[in-house]
Amino acid sequence: MARIFYSSALIFISPLIVFYLYILRGKKNQGYRAHFKERFGFISKSLFTTKTKPLVFHCASVGEVLAATPLIKALQKAHPNLNILITCNTPTGRKQILSQFKNTVACSYLPIDFPFATARFLKRIKPQALCILETELWPNLMAISHKKNIPVLVINARLSEKSQQGYQKVAKLTHIIMRSITVLASHNKADAERFIQLGLETSKSHVTGSIKFDITPSDEQLAKVLNLKQLYNSNKHNNDERFVWVAGSTHPVEHELILAAHQQLLKKQPNALLIIAPRHPEQFDKVAELLTQSPLSFSRRSQNNYSNEQVVLADTLGELQCLYGAANVSFIGGSLIRRGGHNPLESAAFSVGVITGPHTYNFDHVYPELIKLKGAVMVDSNDELAKQLITFSQNTKACHTLGIKAAQCVAKNQGAIQKTLNIINQYLEPKP
For residues 160 and 21, membership in a common domain is answered with yes
Rounded to the nearest 5 percent, the helix, strand and coil shares of the chain are: 50, 15, 35
Q: How confident is the model at residue 193 (pLDDT cuts 50, 70, 90)?
A: very high
CATH number, domain containing residue 13: 3.40.50.11720
Q: Is 245 exposed, middle or buried (0-12, 13-18, 19+ CB in 10 A)?
A: buried
> Does residue 20 lie within any of the structural domains?
yes
pLDDT tens, 106-128?
A: 999 999 999 999 999 999 999 99
pLDDT at 364 > cutoff 90: no
Q: pLDDT grade, residue 189 (50/70/90)?
A: very high
Over residues 18-35, the mean pLDDT reads: 92
293 and 194 share a domain? no
What pairs with residue 109 in β-bridges? Answer: 88
**Which domain does 307 fall in, by range?**
219-413
Number of domains the chain contains: 2
Identify whether residues 107 and 86 lie together within a single domain.
Answer: yes
Q: What is the CATH number of the domain that holds 389?
A: 3.40.50.2000
Task: Locate all alpha helices (DSSP H) within 13-58, ordered by sequence.
Answer: 14-18, 26-28
Segment 192-211 mean pLDDT: 96
Q: Give the pLDDT score at 36.
A: 95
Q: Could you tell me if 340 and 360 are in contact, meaning their C-beta atoms sit under 8 angstroms apart?
A: yes
140: left (phi over 0), alpha (psi -120 to 50) or beta: alpha
**Are residue 198 and residue 102 in the same domain, yes or no?**
yes
- 212: Cα separation from own chain's centroid: 9
Q: Is residue 431 one of the residues assigned to a domain?
A: no
104 and 201 fall within a common domain: yes
Is there a single domain that holds both residue 232 and residue 155? no
At 379-412, the pLDDT tens digits run 999 999 999 999 999 999 999 999 999 999 999 9
Q: What is the pLDDT of residues 264-285, one digit of tens each?
A: 999 999 999 999 999 988 899 9
| pLDDT tens-digit series, residues 221-270 | 999 999 999 999 866 555 568 999 999 999 999 999 999 999 999 999 99
The answer to whether residue 173 is domain-embedded is yes
pLDDT of amino acid 2: 86
Do residues 16 and 153 both lie within one domain? yes
Residue 54 has pLDDT above 70, yes or no: yes
> Are residues 162 and 78 part of one domain?
yes
Max Cα separation, the chain?
A: 72
Question: 277 and 141: one domain?
Answer: no
User: CA Rg, the chain, in Å?
Assistant: 22
Q: What is the pTM of this model?
A: 0.82
Q: Is residue 252 domain-shared with residue 306, that is, in the same domain?
A: yes
Q: Alpha-carbon distance 159 to 365, whole Å?
A: 9
Would you call 38 a catalytic residue per the annotation?
no
Q: What is the mean pLDDT of the segment spanning 153-182? A: 94
Does residue 132 lie within any of the structural domains?
Answer: yes
Structural domain includes residue 233: yes
The reported pLDDT for the residue numbered 106 is: 94
Confidence class of residue 339 from pLDDT cuts 50, 70 and 90? very high
10 Å CB burial of residue 332 (0-12, 13-18, 19+) is buried
Q: How many CB atoms lie within 10 A of CB 220?
A: 9
Which of 97, 86, 84, 85 lies closest to 31, judged by CA? 97
| Residue 66 shares a structural domain with residue 188 | yes
Q: Is residue 127 part of a domain?
A: yes
Which run of H or of E encompasses 412?
helix 396-412
Q: Out of 26-35, 175-184, 373-382, which region has the weakest mean confidence (pLDDT)?
A: 26-35
Q: Which of 38, 64, 319, 346 is catalytic?
A: 64
Residue 432 domain flag: no
Evaluate whether residue 204 is within a structural domain: yes
pLDDT digits (tens, 9 = 90+) for 284-325: 999 999 999 999 999 999 999 999 999 999 999 889 999 999
Q: Are residues 351 and 408 in the same domain?
A: yes
